[in-house]
Amino acid sequence: MSSIYSFPLRALDGTPTTLARYRGRVLLIVNTASRCGFTPQYQGLEQLHREYEPQGLTVLGFPCNQFGGQEPGTAQDIQEFCAQNYDVTFPLFDKIDVNGPSAHPLFRLLKAEAKGILGTESIKWNFTKFLVDRTGRVVSRHGSKDPPSSLRREIEKLLRF
């Protein structure tokens, strides 16, 4: 079985990468969008990243245009939007699909390991959040309506181990 560290990815600037560079860190992996009612969550995600990054947390953003076409821009558009509106410093990756036959393998794994309500795997909307411990194990899934701040206690617990 593949680990979250093995999937080929592209950073938002197009550079090929994997999550291997984040091995040993607590990860908060989020499918994002710039034109969504939940877009202000970028602020809370950035706050968590800045506050807990020194202790070992990394927030990772994966833009997705599958929900209402709410991420229509280019990689440059996304980067500029995030920088200008939310001063995002956490890593952003190339736009991907999170559902359906073209879903990125990373998100297939995340969904299989942390199912949604009633055991469903499908992601319902933008800003679904997956928490991954330092060993690469997916420990929880949080929906769009869960503000980033609601994950503090769980993040702090994972950072202690």
Q: Active-site positions? A: 36
Backbone angles phi, psi at 108, to 5 degrees: -60, -45
Q: What is the 3-state secondary structure (H, E, C) of 71-123?
A: CCCCHHHHHHHHHHHHCCCCCEECCCCCCCCCCCHHHHHHHHHCCCHHHCCCC
